[in-house]
Amino acid sequence: MAALVREAPAGTSELDLAGLLDEPAPPAAPVLCSADVMVAVSALEAYESGTTPLVLGRLHDAVLLTPWALQFHDEAAACLAERDAAVGRALSGFRVLNVISRRTGGVPPLELPGPVLELGGVAADQDRRRIGLDELYVHSDGQRAVLHAKGMEEPLLFHNGEHDTALHTALALPRVRLPRLLDGPQTPRLTWDNVVMSKRRWQVGRASFEELGQAGGDRDLLVAMARLRETHDLPVAFFASTGREREPAYVDTRSPALLEGLAHLAAGTDRVTLTEVLPGPDECWLREGAQRFAAELRCVYLRAAGEKWDTAGTLRTERGGGADRDGRSGWAPRASPPRRPLVHPYPWPGGG
């Protein structure tokens, strides 16, 4: 992917990767994750499957459909039962351990099907099978490292839950991450058909903002910004960040007050990352009267080991069978895949 970006002609604003990359091999272990998606459409009635842009935001390495998220849902219990049934099907043939850590940030720790390891926290379900930390051990034959528990034949994997340690990652289900690309002066928007995987962005050095920082009034700010936009081919609105802020700053280049904030932001760093606003204000479907609001949909993605999707939308298992893609939403019922040998899929220290 990085090579495709490097080889794109100068000035390319969008690069569709569909058909340009090799099809990845089916996963050796189940994949469970959640994706934050924004639908770029002015009204839901105007949505067109396969055409309307779906903008991928953050990816989370766990199933973030939780009791906390569903606390105001009228059918929360049914949703959680459906979630656990779907997760159980995806995990068929694998035993996966929940790590219940100390509660932080007010959000309860994630609990998915499988036994629990209480490591500073307490499982909400008192009937869950518990495995103590002193019962766990790692066996290695020099090529593979496999997690075991005393008294259990089957090897274990950890559930993810955004536990960012090398040890947890090496012994856990696969972690899904957005690709990291080398920073160039401009990076085009990366898409896969109508799915926006990465927004268009620019790396602008501090020297380019000097005229903006020296502006004496609104008129000078607007003129300096017009020159900056022309030089770097910038849109009317964008997000600006330096990596030190928790969230990027929104900048509308028609607002002198926001331009002053941008100048202040740029003065304290060597370069600023600018990212296009997508969806734009006119592409926000959630509204109340004349007001529009940005909205994200959190989508859960489940994929059993060995499952393979082809470009026609047909599910093919490792046995070569086929099924209609009724699992597009991630929740459609289907038969569990055949039980697999309980062997940890990764060689140490966690390569796929």
Tell me if residue 229 falls in helix, strand or coil. helix
pLDDT digits (tens, 9 = 90+) for 40-52: 999 999 999 999 9
Instruction: Count the neighbouring beta carbons within 10 Å of the beta carbon of residue 75.
Output: 10
Mean pLDDT of 16-42: 91
> What's 144's DSSP letter?
B
Question: Do residues 91 and 79 make contact, with C-beta atoms less than 8 angstroms apart?
Answer: no
Which helix (DSSP H) or strand (DSSP E) does residue 167 occupy? helix 166-170
Amino acid residing at 337:
P
Please name each of the domains of the chain with its CATH number: 25-180+293-329 (no CATH), 200-277 (3.30.1490)
Q: What is the DSSP letter of 238?
A: E
Q: Is the pTM of this model over 0.95?
A: no
Does 214 have pLDDT greater than 90? yes
| C-alpha 66: how far from chain center | 17
| 293-335 pLDDT tens trace | 999 999 999 999 987 665 445 555 443 333 333 333 333 334 4
DSSP for 275-311? EE-SS-GGG--EEETTEEE---EEEEEEE-TT-EE-T
Within 8 A by CB and 6+ apart from 145, the residues are 138, 139, 170, 171, 344, 346, 347, 348, 349
Assess contact for 16 and 189: CB atoms under 8 A: no
DSSP string computed for 312-323: TS-EE-TTS-EE
Both tokens of 279, joined, read: 């969806």
Please enumerate in sequence order all residues whose Cβ is within 8 A of that of 51, keeping only pairs 6 or more positions apart, or say none: 194
Helix axes 256-267, 218-232, angle to 10 degrees: 70
**Percent of the chain's residues with pLDDT above 90:** 54
pLDDT class for 352, splitting at 50, 70, 90? very low
Spatial distance between the Cα atoms of 271 and 243, rounded to a whole number of angstroms:
10
The span from the CA of 174 to the CA of 351, in Å, is 10
